[in-house]
A = this chain, B = another copy of it.
Amino acid sequence: MLAREVEEEPGRLSVALPYPYLLFLGDTVEPGYAKTAFGLRDWAPEKCIGEFALPVATVTTGLPKLPPWEAHSRGARALVIGVANAGGFIADSWLPALVQALEAGLDIISGMHSRLADLPTLRIAAERFGRRLIDIRVPPPNIPVATGLKRSGKRLLTVGTDCALGKKYTALSIARGFKQRGIDADFRATGQTGIMIAGGGIAMDAVVADFAAGAAEMLSPHAPDGHWDAIEGQGSLLHPAYAGVSLALLHGSQPDVIVVCHDPTRTRMLGDEEFAVPSIEEIIDLTLHLGSRTNPAIRVGGVSLNTSALADNDARQIIAAESARLRLPVADPLRGGAEFERMLDSCLA
């Protein structure tokens, strides 16, 4: 059974994916490009049995390194492509490893732009070994043009100063934090990892540009007054390649609250070293200005700092300093604590 059958199935994105997963890391040496693998490890650990990479890769999730046959014998049912290069292409150098996985009895799940079934090597191997090629980065059919009209329910959108610095983790953390307070909340996934974690969503960057805001409107539909959607942001309004996706998602999400995500240790844009990372204040100003078009009541709920590269003490200091400087709640959601609770208070205020 090839991907086409999966793609044409209505409600495909809600289909249960085969697991446990073996996480494939390709030839990746840049941790920022392995966010799918890290996201699955952190937010769906019960589904992840190990990792598998080419010898040149230096990135690791810390999970057991298992060749496909061994992963399969330990129960794995699918290899997940856990890396996302710029452009989302499957490298030729990955093909022998992917064929090995099919031969070992694993299906392949991909969130990349290029379709697994479009690669003859994989299509032939999947047919030969009776395995499935599952592309989750296929938007639902018949996405409408956005209307811009107000929907019921509350929405929070994470936005960022760059790609790959915590917008998904922050939205997941906030949805979990809201639920822990007894609030009816959903995490809304807009990228491949989020969809794998949540079991549904829309890969925003794969939608045809004219319908991108319409896809965002579909993603967070009308809801009861007390309900919150915590929507995973994409890209950055000042990213030279992906800003259009960010703006369409902002307009279609019509957020009541934004949370700005930033990595204080990053000074240059990931994969675009020519460009400086913009300031948090510039992203706040731009987002409130542009976002007020579809929700005049838009406000900032706080700033999410990715302090994963810092020691505890340094992280605490920078969180406190940024909060004082910006006069906003600032927290690292993955560290939690009183700062994060204050950010949740502010979002709900």
Contacts and interface: CB of A to CB of B under 8 A. Distances in A.
A274 B148 contact: yes
A1 to B, nearest CB: 24
Contacts of A214: 241
A293 interface: yes
Nearest to A292: B238
Contact of A210 (B88, B149, B249, B293): B88
Nearest to A285: B289
Interface in A218-277: 237-238, 240-249, 251, 272, 274-275
A205 interface: yes
Interface stretch (A9-17, A43-51, A139-147, A309-317): A139-147
A293 to B, nearest CB: 5
A87 B9 CA distance: 24
Contact of A212 (B244, B251, B272): B244
Given A145-B86, A149-B274, A210-B88, A248 B238 contact: no
Contacts of A245: 209-210, 212, 244, 248
A206 B245 CA distance: 14
What copy number does this chain have within its complex?
2
Given A207-B208, A245-B209, A247-B243, A293 B275 contact: yes
Contact of A244 (B148, B206, B213, B274): B213
B209 A248 contact: yes
A97 interface: no
Contact of A213 (B148, B237, B240): B240
A-B pairs, top 10 by smallest CB distance, nearest first, are: A148-B240, A244-B248, A205-B210, A146-B241, A244-B244, A209-B212, A244-B247, A209-B245, A87-B145, A209-B209
Given A206-B208, A240-B294, 19 more contacts: A87-B145, A113-B208, A146-B240, A147-B240, A149-B274, A204-B209, A205-B208, A206-B209, A206-B210, A207-B208, A208-B208, A209-B248, A210-B242, A238-B293, A243-B251, A243-B293, A244-B248, A245-B248, A247-B247
